[in-house]
Chain A
Amino acid sequence: MTGFALRRLLSLPPLLLAVSFGFFAMLRLGRGDPALDYLRLAQIPPTDAALALARAELGLDRPLLAQYGAWLADALRLDLGTSWFTRRPVTAEIAEFLPATLQLAGTAMLVTLAFGIPLGLWAALRRDRWPDHATRLIAFLGVSVPNFWLAFLLVLLFAVTLGWLPAMGRDGPASLVLPALATATMSACVMLRLVRASVLGALGEPHLRFAAARGLPRRTLVGRHVALNAMLPPLTAMGLHLGELIGGAMVVETVFGWPGLGRWALQAIANRDYPVLQGFVMVLTTVFVLGNLLVDLAYAWLDPRIRLERAA
């Protein structure tokens, strides 16, 4: 198990290195002259002398690889540069905004599991009866609804009409409920479908039919033989859900004025604030990759076939 974990962990640095270079090159080669953006954000008139100075200061006159090398050397010391707009270190801003986004995405993940797994199990065990039909309809609507629009609906019902929950801001657990629900709905519905399909698959296995033929009560069958086995496919899907939830959180944040990375990134996009853009995409990619690593490790721990197969 330790060997498997180590191998997986060691595969990450090359991948992150490659994507970080990809991002870096995309920003530099994307369009326009970064020096112009830099001067615009610093509110310096773009005279020839100022442009030349900015290019030298930003290292834009050097080859792309040299520029990237300089960025990487700094990044390895956890220095992601300074925002061209706010003039603050990018890492300081990430430290300020990331926790709120992670809190929202993490809570949404819990909501996804708390709704998706029991409802999926229920639907599978009551196949073709009303719980199955009802959850299928809900799931179908749930995967089709735009999260930011659902957020407005939730605000209209629970904040404006009923006055139960706050409509804006990040102030205590109550303010987390609506943003987390809006962010999680799509993933919860995908999870529901996956768990249902997985449980139905597990119920059809030969050893289960044998156990049923032996006269084991249904509760024992489901509890002992189905529930855990059927959770493996949904578990692997959690990695992908994490990506969707992080992305979804960016959008939903803006509806609730949630002080996360979303608004920060939007500002950086509007300003073409290169260090912030690079920092934003790197930190969320790292979170995503580490989340997937955890999922893989959990999977390998639960299912010895995986860690043995990859060792071979």
Chain B
Amino acid sequence: MRRLPLPLALGLVALLLGAALLAPWIAPHDPAATDLARRLLPPSAAHWLGTDHLGRDLLSRLLWGARASFGAVAAILALVLALGCAVGMLAGMLGGVVDAVLMRLCDAFMTVPTLVLALFMIGALGTGLGNVVVAIALSHWAWYARLVRGLTLSLRQRDHILAARVAGLSRLAILRRHVLPALAGQLAVLASLDLGHWMLHLAGLSFLGLGVAPPAPEWGIMINDARPFFRSAPMLVLLPGAAILLTVLAFNLLGDALRDRLDPALREHAH
């Protein structure tokens, strides 16, 4: 697995992303169209992967499921980076009381196991894919805030930042023009290593029935939905899970390849 080239990882992610984006056009059937006369069919020319317990085309549902997963993971990524950068840069740039308070806040968030925190948040916010995304993002941002703060602190002492301050640039402008671009590379590597992790949490919470409501095509809930038919039609459980596995593999390959390429010093990133 070592030194699997970046293009391969990118290709796999692009393939899955393509399936997600093009699902409405390439899916052979309507993912929600039920047909009880054609339920639990084995694979055939009309239904390449067969049909589920309500006669819906499994391949179409898997393709549409990729949309939900990629959309949700992208939203988690955006939220975690936005929150982590905002809090981390603020703490690192302002220092003093602001820094102390924000870092204690991070400590508090890191005191709770991430999935337990996410479950609690869903309890407080309510179920639904949007709330699951918010809950996962809120349970993971603190690590990024910590990291960004540390990097900001070390950048703040650099000559070009001091020069910018002397030249009268506002702190906000310095953060935007000089600090953020300098952080981007490392954040990209870290985030790509975490994409698979978030995807797994998303799938788990969705499997528990906390995400999208059952008729919608989403991999986690598809598995939950197919449980009663597990012994007679195991493929209904196995294929959506294989789709999750493949997506997480693609994300992890991408993360490892990016790390090897951009930042060989960054080692096994815990959690």
Contact = CB atoms under 8 A, between A and B. Distances in A.
A277 B115 contact: no
A147 B204 contact: yes
B113 A136 contact: no
A288 B268 contact: no
B166 interface: no
A146 B204 contact: yes
Q: How large is the interface on A (under 10, 10 to 19, 20 to 34, 35 or more residues)?
A: 35 or more
Contacts of B1: 136-137, 140
Nearest to A246: B113
B205 to A, nearest CB: 8
Contacts of B123: 27, 265, 268-269, 272, 277
A237 interface: yes
Interface stretch (A16-24, A57-65, A76-84): A16-24
A237 B271 CA distance: 8
B122 interface: yes
A27 B121 CA distance: 8
A254 B237 CA distance: 15
Nearest to B230: A152
B113 A288 contact: yes
Given A146-B204, A244-B113, A250-B115, A19 B108 contact: yes
A197 B112 contact: no
B126 interface: yes
A270 B104 CA distance: 31
B111 A144 contact: no
Interface in A207-254: 237, 240, 242-244, 246-248, 250-251, 254
B58 interface: no
Contacts of B207: 146, 148, 251, 254
Main secondary structure of the interface of B (DSSP, over half): helix
Nearest to A253: B208
A67 interface: no
B113 A254 contact: no
B48 interface: no
B230 A247 contact: no
Interface residues of B, number: 46
A160 interface: yes
A23 B128 CA distance: 20
Which 5 residue pairs are nearest across A and B when measured between Cβ atoms? A247-B115, A149-B241, A243-B113, A30-B124, A144-B248
A152 B237 contact: yes
Contacts of B121: 26
Interface string A132-161: 000011001101111111001101100010
A288 B110 CA distance: 11
B267 A197 contact: yes
Contact of B252 (A30, A140, A146): A140
A285 interface: yes
B108 A31 contact: no
Contact of A277 (B113, B120, B241, B271): B120
A103 to B, nearest CB: 17
Nearest to B203: A146
A17 B207 CA distance: 32
B40 interface: no
Contact of A27 (B113, B124, B237, B267): B124
Nearest to A249: B115
Given A146-B248, A149-B241, A247-B116, A240 B111 contact: no
A280 interface: yes
